[in-house]
Amino acid sequence: MSPRSFAIRSYGCQMNVYDSERMAELLRASGFVEAEEGRAADIALLNTCHIREKATEKLYSDIGRIRSAAMAEGRRRPTVVVAGCVAQAEGAEIRTRAPGVDVIVGPQAYHRLPQLLLEAERSGRAVLDTDMPEIAKFAALPPRAQRARPSAFLTIQEGCDKFCTFCVVPYTRGAEASRPAADILAEARALLHAGTVELTLIGQNVNAWSEPSDPSRDFAWLLGEIAALPGLGRLRYTTSHPRDVTDALIAAHGQLAALMPFLHLPVQSGSDRILAAMNRRHGRRDYLALVARFRAARPDLALSSDFITGFPGETEEDFAETLALVEEVGFAQAYSFRYSPRPGTPAADRADQVPASVAAERLARLQALLAHQQLAFNRAHVGTETEILVERPGRHAGQWIGKSPWMQSVVVEAPGLAPGVLVQVAITGAGPNSLAGRLVAAAAA
Ligand code: SAH
Ligand code: SF4
Ligand code: F3S
């Protein structure tokens, strides 16, 4: 019998992308193979996101689609695995709402996936594992066996104790927990050995990391350790919380050459009243002061952020303060969302919900401003030279796409390149979402 095949689909944040990679490695180590592109898999794994209603609803429509595709093609339906944050939050509900799901596994339990698949097969019933043993999965997973890729994520911290009043993450990912530095460094070395050039350290509150056995070793210390690893070209991290920014972290941006001049620092709103209602535990001025200090340490630092419009009680004045904050900071890019009431979160129960149409209209205004800033940021690079990390071939023959230090995609016409090389390019054009560049011959070796 040929080995059973699997296909994984990721929804949600970088951590889900990372978890999907680890699940793929685990399944491969357990004798499964990845389904070929375009071929039906024996196991369909959906790694889900619960952050907004839209993300959750997508799961149910995808389960239906998998079932009807199998039926239309006269195949047996594949074994369906629901992993990730919806599995954690709505495990029991999935069982009743979506018959035809075989395994439901939470983000802290997926190291048991091979056993769960066996169990489901033997029992013919849906099995559910949403235990939350703190970070136990990392010790139980096989070592990294990732295919060489220029840029890789590395989870260093998981979970969240912040309890912003709109957010499900503390419930789906559990309490803040840090992986030991020795494990992180071993994983980083394995990735670099496999040819990775850029590491992005990830965590729901990545800068809350501290060595579990020695809290004096904090996130800034860890950055220094990783930046010193041979073979590392670039270092990034995401997502950081303004509350966990330390003096040492700001200083690291001025000291570590490998640390890229780009920071994703979510603010959510520019209004102190809304920030307090969100339980962000920082004000507008705190945020602006942090930005100024980061920029003083690293003058070419570009910023990105997350915003929510239409949080309960948000008035036009509050929203105007968000727009004013955006004007004041000037973002290179940003993510913005219409507030989505999530079951079990305090904000969802508030009586002063903002009508969806108002939230949507504010979102459109905010996004127009952010798009304008992004284009201006991109245009400002035309005529400059910068280094890019080549990641993948472009659409046309001889074209390659790489990333600038500021996360911009840069398209270069240069047939001789390969993924994972750092090359110097002259920026010749700029659009809203990418730059065009020309190889600077001298640095192309
Ligand atoms: N830990 C990160 C963010 C995790 S979620 C932080 O604290 O910044 C990613 C983003 O999704 C959040 O920054 C927020 O902007 C958005 N988000 C979270 N819950 C949301 C909700 N209920 N409605 C709309 N957007 C939400
Ligand atoms: Fe959610 Fe707030 Fe935690 Fe970020 S800090 S994951 S927004 S609760
Ligand atoms: Fe979504 Fe869970 Fe990430 S809810 S954003 S997949 S932590």
State the pLDDT at residue 133: 77
State the pLDDT at residue 145: 81
DSSP annotation of 149 reads -
Convert the pLDDT of each residue in 243-255 to its tens digit.
Answer: 999 999 999 999 9
Q: Give one word for 362, left, alpha or beta, with left for phi > 0 and alpha for psi -120 to 50.
A: alpha
Q: Where are the beta strands (DSSP E) in 92-148?
A: 103-105, 127-129
Take atom 11 of ligand 1 and give the residue whose Cα is closest.
51
Pairwise CA distance, residues 24 & 7, whole Å: 9
Q: Does the pLDDT at position 331 exceed 70?
A: yes
Beta bridge partners of 34: 6
CB 205 within 8 A of CB 245: no
CB 428 within 8 A of CB 411: no
Instruction: Report residue 235 as tokens.
Output: 């270092």
Convert the pLDDT of each residue in 200-243 to its tens digit.
Answer: 999 999 999 999 999 999 999 999 999 999 999 999 999 999 99
Instruction: Report residue 378 as tokens.
Output: 């991109």
Could you tell which of 59, 168, 169, 239 is best to mutate to test the pocket of ligand 3, judged by most ligand atoms within 8 Å of the CB?
A: 169
Residue 167 Cβ inside 6 Å of ligand 2? The answer reads: yes
Nearest to 412 by CA among 433, 383, 392, 432: 392
* Ligand 3: centre distance to CA 443 (Å): 40
State the pLDDT at residue 445: 41
Superfamily of domain 5-129: Methylthiotransferase, N-terminal domain (3.40.50.12160)
* Ligand 3: centre distance to CA 161 (Å): 15
Rounded mean pLDDT of 271-294?
A: 98
Q: Does the pLDDT at position 390 exceed 50?
A: yes
CATH of domain 136-379: 3.80.30.20
Is there a shared CATH topology between the 5-129 domain and the 385-442 domain?
Answer: no
Other residues' Cβ atoms within 10 Å of the Cβ of residue 78: 23
Average pLDDT taken over every residue of the chain: 95
Half-sphere exposure of 354 (CA within 13 A, CB side): 23
Pairwise CA distance, residues 31 & 414, whole Å: 40
Half-sphere exposure of 107 (CA within 13 A, CB side): 31
Q: Does the pLDDT at position 271 exceed 70?
A: yes
State the pLDDT at residue 323: 98
Direct distance between the N- and C-terminal alpha carbons of the chain, in angstroms, rounded to an integer:
48
Backbone angles phi, psi at 297, to 5 degrees: -75, -30
- 345 CA: nearest ligand 1 atom: 22
Q: Which ligand sits closest to the CA of 16?
A: 3
Q: What is the 3-state secondary structure (H, E, C) of 243-302?
A: HHCCHHHHHHHHHCCCECCEEECCCECCCHHHHHHCCCCCCHHHHHHHHHHHHHHCCCCE
pTM for this structure?
Answer: 0.95
Residue with tokens 């990294």: 144
Chain centroid to Cα 86, Å, comes to 16
* Ligand 2: centre distance to CA 170 (Å): 7
pLDDT cut 90: percent of the chain above it: 87
Take atom 2 of ligand 2 and give the residue whose Cα is closest.
164
Pairwise CA distance, residues 377 & 327, whole Å: 13
State the pLDDT at residue 135: 64
**Lowest-confidence segment of 164-173, 295-304, 433-442 by average pLDDT:** 433-442
Ligand 1 binding pocket (C-beta < 6 A) is: 51-52, 166-167, 169, 204-205, 239, 241, 266, 268, 306, 308, 337, 339-340, 342
Could you tell which of 20, 21, 85, 108 is best to mutate to test the pocket of ligand 3, judged by most ligand atoms within 8 Å of the CB?
A: 85
Q: Does the pLDDT at position 3 exceed 50?
A: yes
Pairwise CA distance, residues 152 & 407, whole Å: 14
Beta bridge partners of 80: 44
Convert the pLDDT of each residue in 27-55 to its tens digit.
Answer: 999 999 999 988 889 999 999 999 999 88
Residue 278 Cβ inside 6 Å of ligand 2? The answer reads: no
Tell the CATH topology of 385-442: OB fold (Dihydrolipoamide Acetyltransferase, E2P) (2.40.50)
Ordered by start, the domain boundaries in the chain are 5-129, 136-379, 385-442
